Structure 1
Amino acid sequence: MDIELLRDYCLAKPAVEECFPFGPDNLVFKVNGKMFLLASIDQQPLQFNVKCDPEKAIELREQYPSILPGYHMNKKLWNTVIIDGSLSTQQLKEFIDHSYELVIKGKKK
């Protein structure tokens, strides 16, 4: 997955907007005004931060070396996913979907 595929996938979700609140190198995707994905567009390999259920976040970090505690984020709730080829596109999409769903559910409360 490259930045364009990541962008297209995120923007295809309902009510998603993109913005650059942290400068031109950090692409943010929000749903209903709340961030669910942050990507550093100039970093190689590409990586992104996604929200994650705290227990699942720990499990994923233990299982995959390319998943780390969220860089510059609440490490309990966010993971940094490095796109280095060790994870499938389907897995990456599942992480994005999970983050999106957590934010949507949080907004409904």
Structure 2
Amino acid sequence: MKAQQLRAFCLEFNAAVEEFPFGPETSVFKVLGKMFALSALDATPLTVNLKCDPDLAVRLRADHPGVIVPGWHMNKRHWNTVTVGSLPDRLVRELVEDSYDLVVAGLPRAERLRLDRA
């Protein structure tokens, strides 16, 4: 998966937006103001920080050492840094979708319902 494919996929989700609160080199993808992905899309190698269930995060890190690591500059229990080009596109897509779903699940009920109608 290339940077533009990652960007396009992140923006496919309901109410997803791209913002640059940390400067123009870092894309932050949010849903209703909450971050679900963060990436320096011009970086080599291409990595993305994604929210993850803590138990799954540990398993993914064990299954993909050096490719999926604790989230850089993030809560290490809930975030992973994923080296995109070192994994199958399908797995990267699943991890991004899981991150989005976890963030949405943490939103207030009224906001979740609003997303369902969009």
TM range (shorter): over 0.9
Tell me the secondary structure at the aligned position of residue 58 of structure 2: helix
Give the structure 1 partner of residue 2 of structure 2: 2
Give the structure 2 partner of residue 108 of structure 1: 108
AA aligned opposite 2:50: V
Normalising by structure 2, what TM-score?
0.88
Q: Deviations over 1:32-59 (max 9, x none)?
A: 1100000012320100000000000000
Give the structure 2 partner of residue 44 of structure 1: 44
Distance 2:108 2:75 in 1: 21
Tell me the secondary structure at the aligned position of residue 82 of structure 2: strand
User: How far has the Cα of 1:108 moved from its partner?
Assistant: 3.2
Distance 1:12 1:97 in 2: 10
**Larger CA Rg, structure 1 vs 2:** 2
Alignment root-mean-square deviation, CA? 1.0
Query: Which runs of 5 or more structure 1 residues have no equivalent in the other structure?
Result: none
Tell me the secondary structure at the aligned position of residue 27 of structure 2: strand
Instruction: List, as ranges, runs of 4+ consecutive aligned residues in structure 1 with deviation greater than 2 Å.
Output: none
Give the structure 1 partner of residue 19 of structure 2: 19
Distance 1:107 1:30 in 2: 12
Distance 1:97 1:12 in 2: 10
AA aligned opposite 1:76: R
Distance 1:83 1:49 in 2: 10
Percent sequence identity over matched residues?
47
AA aligned opposite 2:24: P
Distance 1:84 1:37 in 2: 16
Query: Which runs of 5 or more structure 2 residues have no equivalent in the other structure?
Result: 110-118
